[in-house]
């Protein structure tokens, strides 16, 4: 089978959709499939290369719209690539529209993974989202043979996905259970930051305006409450972006700057060690822009429980009291109490960590790739009936 994957970016650009695209492609190659990827070039130069058996075509960026790279070379690339099936990722209306158009013109089937609805970051962005969802989306989404949601919860709650239920299937996100493992040693990170045996929470996410829905501001407020009852608590913040200085200023204003460690954009190979250096992950997302929360799976694979907001797809990933805790969104008091609970109750935290690892093992990328390939095969079979 010749599979063409299309996503806004590809590693070393870091993000959930990029992790999804790379690992899906890598495991499809392992399963004997031919895989070609089209993406925007940053942070590398444009051009083609082979990575882990994947042909990666990095395209020049000609402009930006709503945080999405516009690559004018994409239509020509898709028209000429040898492929049995196209697989695009959303949210990228530009890519999703072009893939649907090429799918129609070339009479090739296509699949769309719906990572999350378009977030309305600002009033202007919210207007663009409403215009897209009401008038543009209906012109192309029907061309897709299948729409993959990564959680059943998101498929039910998204007002857009509910309209296309007949095309829906659910294939969860995955995690590399060899790379992210309880065997990873985080002592070098703890020692380098002089954390010792302090209770340690970790937040991992981009610090950009397109990712404010991740709720780092809510976490900093909750953490400022936490240190009143757990004075030796520490918070690791892994990620980079133009809002970093704003979050650092916020930590100063809240009086917790010396207890919040901004690690920046760490090397991807070091990421498992940051999970290992922590006691639990916190993902305090604000709304349904959080379609899954891949960092939850990565923390779980390292044997660490997670605290997440009861929004978007997170309730399908965290079972309250089993592999983590769920809290109301935008509620620093509830988030503080959940962090205090895991900080103070070591045995319960370890129990959740063991459950978390078992949960992650069921979501290894090898399993996700097998399920996705089954979707492809059904699409191709239906086409040939």
Domain definitions of the chain by residue range: 2-174+364-383, 187-361
What the block records as the tokens of 193 is: 């930051």
Q: What is the sign, positive or negative, of the torsion defined by CA atoms of 146, 298, 35, 96?
A: positive
**According to CATH, what is the number of the domain 187-361?**
3.40.50.2000
Contact 308, 324 (CB under 8 A): yes
Ranking 67-71, 175-179, 317-321 by mean pLDDT, the lowest is: 67-71
In the structure, what pLDDT confidence band is assigned to residue 118 with cuts at 50, 70 and 90? confident
The answer to whether residue 358 scores a pLDDT higher than 90 is yes
DSSP string, 165-186: GGGEEE----B-TTTS-TT---
Q: Which of left, alpha, beta for 18 (phi over 0: left; psi -120 to 50: alpha)?
A: alpha
Mean pLDDT, rounded, for 141-159: 92
Residue 233 has pLDDT above 90, yes or no: yes
What's the helix, strand, coil split of the chain in %, to 5?
45, 20, 35
Distance CA 142, CA 168 (A): 11
Q: What pTM was computed for the model?
A: 0.89
Return the pLDDT at 383. Answer: 83
2-174+364-383: in CATH 3.10.50.40:
no
Task: Give me the pLDDT at residue 274, please.
Answer: 97
Distance CA 230, CA 344 (A): 8
CA distance 312 to 90: 15
What's the pLDDT score for residue 157?
85
Percent residues over pLDDT 70 in the chain: 100
When comparing pLDDT for 268 and 22, which is higher?
22
Residue 146 pLDDT exceeds 90: yes
Residue pLDDT, tens place only, 178-231? 999 999 999 999 999 999 889 999 999 999 988 999 999 999 999 999 999 999
| CATH fold match for the domains 2-174+364-383 and 187-361 | yes
139-158 as b/e, with b when 16 or more CB fall inside 10 Å? ebbebbbbbbbbbebbbebb
User: Higher pLDDT residue, 156 or 223?
Assistant: 223
> Please, what is the average pLDDT of the chain?
95
Helix, coil or strand: residue 27: helix
Distance CA 172, CA 113 (A): 10
């Amino acid at each position: 089978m010749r599979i063409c994957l299309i996503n806004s970016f590809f590693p070393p650009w870091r993000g959930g959709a990029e992790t999804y695209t790379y690992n899906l492609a890598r495991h499809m190659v392992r399963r004997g499939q031919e895989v070609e990827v089209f993406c925007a070039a940053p942070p590398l130069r444009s051009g083609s290369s082979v990575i882990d058996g994947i042909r990666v075509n990095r395209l020049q960026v000609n402009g930006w719209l709503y945080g999405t790279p516009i690559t004018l070379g994409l239509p020509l690339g898709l028209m000429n690539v040898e492929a049995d099936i196209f697989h695009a990722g959303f949210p990228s209306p530009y890519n999703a529209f072009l893939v649907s158009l090429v799918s129609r013109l070339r009479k090739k089937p296509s699949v769309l993974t719906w990572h999350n609805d378009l977030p309305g970051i600002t009033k202007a962005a919210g207007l663009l989202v409403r215009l897209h969802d009401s008038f543009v989306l209906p012109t192309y989404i029907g061309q897709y043979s299948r729409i993959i949601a990564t959680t059943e919860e998101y498929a039910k709650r998204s007002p857009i996905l509910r309209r296309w239920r007949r095309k829906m299937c659910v294939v969860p996100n995955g995690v590399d259970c060899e790379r992210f493992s309880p065997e990873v040693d985080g002592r070098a990170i703890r020692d380098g930051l002089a954390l010792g045996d302090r209770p340690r929470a970790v937040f991992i996410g981009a610090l950009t305006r397109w990712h404010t829905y991740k709720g780092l501001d809510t976490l900093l407020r909750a953490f400022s409450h936490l240190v009143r009852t757990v004075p030796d608590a520490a918070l690791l913040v892994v990620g980079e972006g133009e809002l970093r200085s704003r979050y650092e200023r916020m930590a100063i204003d809240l009086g917790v700057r010396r207890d919040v460690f901004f690690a920046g954009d760490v090397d991807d190979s070091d990421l498992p060690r940051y999970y290992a250096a922590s006691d639990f992950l916190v993902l305090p997302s604000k709304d349904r822009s959080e379609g899954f929360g891949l960092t939850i799976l990565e923390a779980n694979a390292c044997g660490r429980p997670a605290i997440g907001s009861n929004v978007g797809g997170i309730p399908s990933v965290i079972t309250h009291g089993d592999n983590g805790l769920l809290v109301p969104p935008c509620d620093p008091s509830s988030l503080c109490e959940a962090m205090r609970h895991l900080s103070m109750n070591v045995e319960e935290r370890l129990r959740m960590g063991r459950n978390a690892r078992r949960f992650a093992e069921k979501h290894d990328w090898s399993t996700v790739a097998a399920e996705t390939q089954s979707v492809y095969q059904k699409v191709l079979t239906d086409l040939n009936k």
